[in-house]
Amino acid sequence: MPPSDATAAPLAPASSRFLDRTSPPHVITLVLLAGLAALAMNVFLPSLPSMAAYFGTDYRVMQLSVSLYLAVNAVIQILIGPISDRFGRRPVLLWSLGVFVLATLGTLLATNAVIFLLFRMLQAVVVSAIVLSRAAIRDVMDEAAAASRIGYVTMGMALVPMAAPAVGGLLDEAFGWRGSFMLMLLAGMGVLALTWADLGETKPRGTGGMRAQFAELPELMTSRRFWGYCITATLASGAFFAYLGGAPFVGSVVFGMSPATLGIFFGAPAIGYAIGNFVAGRYSIHVGVDRMVLLGCLICMGGVSVMVALFALGFQSPGVFFGFFVFVGLGNGMVLPNATSGMMSVRPHLAGTASGIGGAIMIGGGAALSALAGALLTPETGAAPLLALLLITTALSVVAIVYVIRRGRQLGG
């Protein structure tokens, strides 16, 4: 795995030059870094039923490849932010991508479910690509501009979760479940090479050891606004993570969809997410971070509420179930770039730490909701437990951002 060979001081975003590692990373590199993490998250989901059959286990065991992955993902984010604040974004990213490539090779060679899940959990190190691409943006931009740039980056990234499940379903039918993991391996190798060639350092190495770095944590962790942004993002995205854990079961068992058909429908939220990211990128500077988050949370809750009402009235179909997740994606596309920028802006000098801890809280909550959705769903319950989780989490997200707004007013902005 390649070491870092660039330790330049932060440069202005205007100085970014593609394939020049003496300048900040180009937007193409940031999009592909975030896209790789998104690919690893959901490209294989249509294959979960066939993977359970291959390894001779049941669906709930293979669903751990989602919930355990998210849990390890959360732990890594707690550590990766402070480490990158101390040693820089570039070396941490390069080593993380190298580990991801090796872990993906391990999943391809796994001979049983336990070995597969161990390597799958190791794949979670790729979350560094999301955490540190956001931190790199915040290193060279102010709060509103960072929210706008993060929105544009995640808009480009949204093409991956939109297309990945469909591609994964086709790969499953053509090559079996390993097709999706071979795609991850090739993508990981390509992004590693691009990152080495393009990503310049945006944060100089910190002074002191890791103990000094972690000693600054109380300054961040005692901020109510930081916690407010974290909880808002966790609850808003919780609907999507519950979807990751439960939708494959609903599609394949409740609606009887094939892997390829499920893959096509599964990408529905990404359509809304891409639109929401565009709205965030275009209007966050003018509308403001907090108001954009509130609007996104209301859209999530509204879309879920209508879907639940339609199910209660008997309109239970794949079109209704997957179609209304477009609104969940739309709301999340507006919420997450702005909430992320907000949590990193509470203490700008700890942007990497804030991005990592905030992401860990969000992913940790997502892991719990994903596992809960997978555990509660049975052929007898249908989609009802998943719908209840969606309604609760989206409603509470509105409460959380209202608190953040009121707290900001108490502090004078």
Q: How many helices (H) and strands (E) does the chain have?
A: 20, 0
Q: Mind giving me the DSSP string for 318-357?
A: HHHHHHTHHHHHHHHHHHHHHHHHHHHHSSGGGHHHHHHH
Over its C-alpha atoms, the chain yields an Rg (Å, rounded) of 20
How confident is the model at residue 6, as a pLDDT? 38
Query: Who contacts 292 (Cβ-Cβ below 8 Å, separation ≥6)?
Result: 147, 279, 280, 283, 284, 334, 335, 338
Query: Who contacts 226 (Cβ-Cβ below 8 Å, separation ≥6)?
Result: 220, 343, 346, 347, 354, 358
pLDDT band at 12 (very low <50, low <70, confident <90, very high): very low
Rounded alpha-carbon distances, angstroms, from residue 310 to 127, 303, 320: 36, 11, 8
> For domain 15-410, which CATH number applies: 3.40.50.980, 3.40.50.1820, 1.20.1250.20, 3.10.20.30?
1.20.1250.20
Q: For the whole model, what pTM was predicted?
A: 0.67
How confident is the model at residue 382, as a pLDDT? 75
CB atoms within 10 A of CB 135: 29
How confident is the model at residue 318, as a pLDDT? 86
Contact between 196 and 2 (Cβ < 8 Å): yes
Rounded alpha-carbon distances, angstroms, from residue 6 to 20, 31, 83: 11, 21, 17
Contact between 198 and 23 (Cβ < 8 Å): no
What's the whole-number average pLDDT of the chain? 81
How confident is the model at residue 68, as a pLDDT? 85
- Ranking 92-96, 241-245, 286-290, 308-312 by mean pLDDT, the lowest is 241-245
Tell me which residue of 175, 206, 182, 246 sits closest to 92, measured CA to CA: 206
Domain ranges of the chain: 15-410
Q: Does the pLDDT value for residue 167 go beyond 60? A: yes
Which amino acid is located at 28 in the chain?
I
Q: Does the pLDDT value for residue 29 go beyond 80? A: yes
Q: Does the pLDDT value for residue 413 go beyond 60? A: no
Contact between 384 and 373 (Cβ < 8 Å): no
Task: Give the residue-averaged pLDDT of 326-331.
Answer: 91
pLDDT band at 212 (very low <50, low <70, confident <90, very high): low
Please tell me which residue, 144 or 404, carries the higher pLDDT value. 404
pLDDT band at 213 (very low <50, low <70, confident <90, very high): low
Task: Give the residue-averaged pLDDT of 270-297.
Answer: 86
pLDDT band at 63 (very low <50, low <70, confident <90, very high): confident
Contact between 120 and 221 (Cβ < 8 Å): no
